[in-house]
Structure 1
């Protein structure tokens, strides 16, 4: 097996967060994703990564039926358990169809904002020889920022693809990509990205 030095991390592109319909949990986020054309951009980047043979790892918020494996115990995460929401096998936790994993692409389930906490993600990347992660996801100021911080602190090079990201409000996204994310890696557009 060959090892990769770069991996594309697809962060929280889930039905409940991204798509209008009966499973939508966060309408303001879905509205920004649609307005910015995030899913179409993510689909193009994903296709380019696959064509280049780049390791693709999908990450999603998905809980076990007991909700005890969730690492975030803050009150704002309480409604997930109360409403039996975002269960691993549920339609709302599913990755959107256009970005669905293909054979050979791992899916990492997390129980908090940070995709590295309580998951095997860092170990998987190390086993594959990954030294750089390319990040795209929603919301910019939550999972993307958390991933960038953790990855850079773990010794990985970080590239954030700005137009693969969105947040609940345009100013949240703008503040993150202008002020926070550059502290942890480089921020680029999909047109400038190469695998």
Structure 2
């Protein structure tokens, strides 16, 4: 009797493509990250991949850092997260917490709000993927060595296959991004360019 392999079902996870992180303007919180995003053309690449995923009928999930007014749902309680609460920053309804216009969700695409770096911690993301029958996640986001790495680690440990689209990602410094894609992310999945990606 020959064993059969179940078909792979992919989901595209769009990670932290938010106004405060990605766009020059009054809501920008991390200029070095936005500069790397612009230099690498990340948003244009992400838009192309997102368009292809939608055309192929791939399940798309958007993830963002966004807080409720109490900040009690914030799962990361390290001091480096304290300024969000102190400054009433990244509230879910605020302009800065929104996903950039070019990558904005459309009908049928869920948005997962998280209170930490890892998009799986304190959110229903894993359960949502399981309910959709997803077996492989395709990741793109900012910053490479934070949310993308955290998502890749958690997804692979949860039994999902992981593909990271390198040119959909950027970090605060070019060397941070390079170290992650060359040394860390390959431990948890495939790292490819958008030209290699097939849906």
TM-score clears 0.5: yes
For residues 9 and 52 of structure 2, the distance between their equivalents in structure 1, rounded to whole angstroms, comes to 16
**Structure 2: where are the runs of 5+ without partners?**
1-6
TM norm structure 1: 0.98
For residues 70 and 57 of structure 1, the distance between their equivalents in structure 2, rounded to whole angstroms, comes to 20
Q: Aligned pair count? A: 193
Give the conservation status (yes or no) of the 8 Å contact 2:11–2:138: yes
Residue 73 of structure 1 corresponds to which residue in structure 2?
77
Residue 164 of structure 1 corresponds to which residue in structure 2?
168
Q: Which runs of 4+ in 1 moved over 3 A?
A: none
- SS of 2:17's partner is coil
Residue 144 of structure 1 corresponds to which residue in structure 2?
148
For residues 9 and 162 of structure 1, the distance between their equivalents in structure 2, rounded to whole angstroms, comes to 13
- 1:5 Cα offset (Å): 1.1
Residue 185 of structure 1 corresponds to which residue in structure 2?
189
Give the conservation status (yes or no) of the 8 Å contact 2:9–2:134: yes
Residue 131 of structure 2 corresponds to which residue in structure 1?
127
Larger Rg: 2
Residue 15 of structure 2 corresponds to which residue in structure 1?
11
Residue 96 of structure 2 corresponds to which residue in structure 1?
92
**Structure 1: where are the runs of 5+ without partners?**
none
Q: Give the RMSD, CA atoms, in angstroms.
A: 0.9
TM norm structure 2: 0.96
